[in-house]
Amino acid sequence: MHRLVALYCKPVDPDHFRDYYVTNHLPLVMNWPGPLAWRYSFDVAATNGEAPYFAVFEADFADAAAMAAAGASAHGRKVAADVANYATGGAVVIHYPVQDGTC
């Protein structure tokens, strides 16, 4: 599995971010072919001090090639272009292969 993570910095208008994200951006994500699963949160906390991020989004793909294909698709480009409509504080996007662990 391959995971994409978007870490959103504090926006200029947090209420606009939340409203736009839920009302407009997530419906785009729901129709995005490629992700096996996705999740998000506005409740980002740090174990010590203030969290450096306002919100987080994660999407899981079968592998790196599936993530690349989803991002390169017309819909994927539309999802990416929409970020500028709400993420006025910027975003850090990372991705990595996920390794299963055992306890």
> Quick check: is 102 in a domain?
no
> Quick check: is 15 in a domain?
yes
> Quick check: is 56 in a domain?
no
Structural domains in the chain (count)? 1
pLDDT computed for residue 71 by the predictor? 96
Strands 55-61 vs 2-8: parallel, antiparallel or unpaired:
antiparallel
C-alpha to C-alpha distance for 14 and 52, rounded to whole angstroms: 14
- Provide the CATH number for the domain around residue 82: 3.30.70.100
pLDDT bin (cut points 50, 70, 90) of residue 101 is confident
> Quick check: is 93 in a domain?
yes
Q: Which structural domain range is residue 88 located in?
A: 2-51+61-97
Number of H helices, E strands in the chain: 4, 4
Please list the residues that pair with 3 across neighbouring strands: 60, 96
> Quick check: is 103 in a domain?
no
What pLDDT digit, counting tens, does each position of 35-80 carry?
Answer: 999 999 999 999 999 999 999 999 999 999 999 999 999 999 999 9
What order do you get walking across the sheet with 55-61 strand by strand?
37-41, 55-61, 2-8, 91-97
